[in-house]
Amino acid sequence: MARRLAFINYKGGVGKTSLIVNTAACLARMGHRVLLCDFDTQSNASIWLLRLERWNPINATGEGALYSLFDPGQRRLRDLIVRDVVLDRAGGHPLPGLDLLPTTFNLVDLESEYAGDPRRPAYVIFQEQLAEVEADYDFILFDCPPNILRASQCGIFSANEIYVPANPDALSLIGFTLLVEKLARFHQLSAGFRRAAMGPAAQVHGIIFNAIKTGVDIEVPRMRMQLRLNQFKAARRTAREARIFESFVRDAMVVRRAVALGLPVNLLGQEADGDNVVRDYERVAEELLRLAPVAV
Ligand SMILES: Nc1ncnc2c1ncn2[C@@H]1O[C@H](COP(=O)(O)OP(=O)(O)OP(=O)(O)O)[C@@H](O)[C@H]1O
Ligand SMILES: [Mg+2]
């Protein structure tokens, strides 16, 4: 059974997309079958992995984009998946096993124009269709925007585990706190649609510090985050085993460069050599693997 993980924080720009794309790439390199679903209308993960030349045509027509599951509702999720999404300059597939469910700017229509059947919210439609491909994967990862509006709800409803990328600052702590509150509300709202086979509603299982600058001591922000996490755990508002990851990702120029090059950092070869950040993402992937999957 695939582990289904959502990466989200109510604080924007903390590195959710960088972390999920690069961790997904590490998992794929270790031989795991990974599906990355992009729930952000900004389409950062999709543009990164498809590069503009493959993403632009999808964006222009909407054909093949996530939103076509809902409107006109004719497309099946399994037909939208871009298999072995990363292409090298020669057109080869340097990272087999990393698949993408791509998004384009029209996903924003899900938040306003979309008028679906209230008895079948978008997150139910998504979950049912995802179930058809789950057996093909070891990991299904959801890159969410910094909110729990309709698009994000699809990821949260289908996930069994939530991970919170965070920077060592007060805003990330506020974003985490807000997330836990909004999550409880959404779980209440959607409880009637859950079926036993889906497993428990997703709780926060981990916090992952990202973009740590050289010389910056993260002990104090880490301690503050741990205190908040302890309060939530005591109130059973996060998973009992929730923790701050031992591994964290350093701030490195190559992470920004990777986006421009349309590759995850672990494929940058020489360019990323000497830059320990690839090892950081591998450690995050290894730590995820060490955590026991949620029993479904
Ligand atoms: N470890 C890192 N080192 C250097 N730059 C980073 C690192 N992680 C992320 N960044 C940069 O920080 C910016 C924000 O990162 P990213 O887009 O991953 O955040 P996000 O949380 O997904 O944002 P949003 O809330 O808009 O979805 C990007 O320019 C990205 O390249
Ligand atoms: Mg993002």
pLDDT, tens digit (0-9, with 9 covering 90-100), for 143-162: 999 999 999 999 999 999 99
Q: Is 224 exposed, middle or buried (0-12, 13-18, 19+ CB in 10 A)?
A: middle
pLDDT, tens digit (0-9, with 9 covering 90-100), for 160-185: 999 999 999 999 999 999 999 999 99
Q: What are phi and psi of 163, to 5 degrees?
A: -120, 140
User: Which band of pLDDT confidence, cut at 50, 70 and 90, is reported for residue 269?
Assistant: confident
pLDDT of residue 134: 97
**Above 80 in pLDDT, residue 273?**
no
User: Which band of pLDDT confidence, cut at 50, 70 and 90, is reported for residue 296?
Assistant: confident
Interval between CA 114 and ligand 1 midpoint (Å): 29
User: What sign has the CA pseudo-torsion 10, 14, 19, 21?
Assistant: positive
Interval between CA 42 and ligand 2 midpoint (Å): 8
> 81 with 99: CB under 8 angstroms?
yes
Interval between CA 213 and ligand 2 midpoint (Å): 20
Residue range 215-230: mean pLDDT, rounded = 95
The ligand whose atoms approach the alpha carbon of 171 most closely is: 1
Taking CA atoms, 262 is separated from 92, 96, 200, 254, in Å, by: 14, 16, 36, 12
pLDDT, tens digit (0-9, with 9 covering 90-100), for 24-66: 999 999 999 999 999 999 999 999 999 999 999 999 998 999 9
Length of the chain: 296
pLDDT of residue 274: 59
**Above 70 in pLDDT, residue 267?**
yes
Share of the chain above pLDDT 70, in %: 98
Q: Which residues on adjacent β-strands are paired with residue 82?
A: 100
Instruction: Give the nearest ligand 1 atom to 19 CA.
Output: 18
Helices (H), the chain: 16-29, 44-61, 77-80, 122-131, 150-158, 170-190, 219-234, 253-261, 277-290
Mutate to test the pocket of ligand 1, among 8, 10, 14, 18 (most ligand atoms within 8 A of CB): 18
Task: Order across the sheet with 98-101: list the strands.
Answer: 98-101, 34-38, 139-143, 3-7, 161-166, 203-209, 243-244
User: Which band of pLDDT confidence, cut at 50, 70 and 90, is reported for residue 116?
Assistant: confident
Residue range 133-147: mean pLDDT, rounded = 98
User: Which band of pLDDT confidence, cut at 50, 70 and 90, is reported for residue 131?
Assistant: very high
CB atoms within 10 A of CB 52: 10
Mutate to test the pocket of ligand 1, among 8, 9, 14, 17 (most ligand atoms within 8 A of CB): 17
pLDDT, tens digit (0-9, with 9 covering 90-100), for 241-250: 999 999 999 9
Supply the residue whose CA is at minimum distance from atom 23 of ligand 1: 13
Q: Is 22 exposed, middle or buried (0-12, 13-18, 19+ CB in 10 A)?
A: buried
**Above 90 in pLDDT, residue 118?**
no
**Above 70 in pLDDT, residue 266?**
yes
pLDDT of residue 24: 98
Q: Return mean pLDDT, the chain.
A: 95
Interval between CA 163 and ligand 2 midpoint (Å): 14
* Nearest alpha carbon to residue 246 among 283, 214, 281, 197: 283
Which of the 8 DSSP states describes residue 296?
-
Domains and CATH numbers, the chain: 3-290 (3.40.50.300)
User: Which band of pLDDT confidence, cut at 50, 70 and 90, is reported for residue 17?
Assistant: very high
Mutate to test the pocket of ligand 1, among 178, 256, 276, 283 (most ligand atoms within 8 A of CB): 256
Share of the chain above pLDDT 90, in %: 89
Residues with CB under 6 A from ligand 1: 12-18, 40, 42, 44, 145-146, 210-211, 249, 251-252, 255-256, 259
User: Which band of pLDDT confidence, cut at 50, 70 and 90, is reported for residue 272?
Assistant: low
Rounded-to-integer distance, Cα 261 and Cα 33, Å: 23
The ligand whose atoms approach the alpha carbon of 248 most closely is: 1
**Above 80 in pLDDT, residue 231?**
yes
CA dihedral 53, 57, 63, 67 (to 10 degrees): 70
Instruction: Give the nearest ligand 1 atom to 211 CA.
Output: 1
> 173 with 223: CB under 8 angstroms?
no
pLDDT of residue 125: 95
Instruction: Give the nearest ligand 1 atom to 259 CA.
Output: 31
pLDDT of residue 84: 98
Q: Which residues on adjacent β-strands are paired with residue 4?
A: 140
**Above 80 in pLDDT, residue 270?**
no
